Amino acid sequence: MLAHGALLRKNFFTVEQLLAVVADFRQAGLSEQEVALMTFAQKVIQHPGEITEVDINALRAYDLSDEQVLDLVVVITARSFFSKTLDALKIQPDDVYKDLEPELIQALSIGRPFP
């Protein structure tokens, strides 16, 4: 999450906003569509076998096409695969991320310590 967090911090959010998203994206001031996307992503990662037409329709309500939903699933699962691969191989994040605010490093370093 460090890479995405660094990009979001640099271009879109304050430290406080990002910390709020990490703490509870549903209460972080995101748009309804952003919350729907995050909710879907969370379910894909935590309970992929439980995705139903209801979940897909929640995205269609924001005019996402089936192709866009497929793109989301592929991006979400590819990122999960990549992160788990890095974790399994004990790959350390690049030093450039040490420039992030300490509270962001702590919040975004999920699953492994950042030296």
Q: Is 44's pLDDT higher than 90?
A: yes
The pLDDT value recorded for residue 48 is: 96
Give 112's pLDDT tier (boundaries 50, 70, 90): low
Digit-coded pLDDT (tens) for 2-16: 777 787 888 888 889
Q: Which domains does the chain have, with CATH numbers?
A: 2-108 (1.20.1290.10)
| CA distance linking residue 19 with residue 102, whole number of Å | 11
Digit-coded pLDDT (tens) for 50-75: 999 999 999 999 999 999 999 999 99
Q: Nearest CA to 86 among 98, 78, 75?
A: 78
The string of DSSP letters for 3-61 reads HHHHHHHHHT--HHHHHHHHHHGGGTT--HHHHHHHHHHHHHHH-GGG--HHHHHHHHT
- Residue written as tokens 């640099």? 10
If you count them, how many residues does the chain have? 115
| CA distance linking residue 79 with residue 16, whole number of Å | 24
Return the axis-axis angle of helices 53-60 and 66-88, rounded to nearest 10°.
110
